[in-house]
């Protein structure tokens, strides 16, 4: 069986996204649960990377970190104001078709 992607939710992600993934038994942890509220973006990315989690964010600063060459386990980015259902469907699709190795140092745009 292929290894499955595990997600880390940036602190500004609506909780409904996390609920939607967990209802589908997708391993997801939030910044709040990780005691990372108000942490620097670099620290969020480092924690997610150390745990082998793909970070989901709506913060363009993570795209800058990627462009700067900072290694990570994967970033999924979507613009602010994107409907929750669209986000959940996109993350579920990523979960279903990609493996953690596919996301290594990769940015996926929803």
Q: 54 and 100 in contact (C-beta within 8 Å)?
A: yes
What is the model's pTM? 0.95
pLDDT at 72 over 80: yes
Domain spans of the chain, in order of start: 7-109
Question: Tens digits of per-residue pLDDT, 76-110?
Answer: 999 999 999 999 999 999 999 999 999 999 999 99
* Close Cβ partners of 95 (under 8 Å, ≥ 6 residues apart): 4, 5, 7, 21, 24, 26
CATH architecture assigned to 7-109: 3-Layer(aba) Sandwich (3.40)
Confidence at residue 102, expressed as pLDDT on a 0 to 100 scale: 97
Confidence at residue 34, expressed as pLDDT on a 0 to 100 scale: 96
């Amino acid at each position: 069986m292929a290894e499955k992607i595990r997600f880390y939710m940036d602190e500004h992600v609506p909780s409904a996204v996390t609920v939607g993934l967990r209802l589908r038994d997708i391993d997801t942890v939030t910044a709040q649960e990780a005691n990372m509220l108000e942490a620097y973006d670099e620290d969020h990315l480092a924690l997610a990377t150390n745990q082998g989690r793909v970070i989901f964010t709506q913060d363009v600063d993570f795209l800058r970190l990627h462009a700067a060459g900072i290694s990570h386990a994967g970033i999924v980015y979507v613009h602010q104001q994107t409907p929750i259902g669209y986000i959940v469907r996109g993350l579920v699709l990523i979960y279903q078709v990609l493996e953690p190795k596919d996301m290594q140092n990769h940015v996926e745009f929803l």
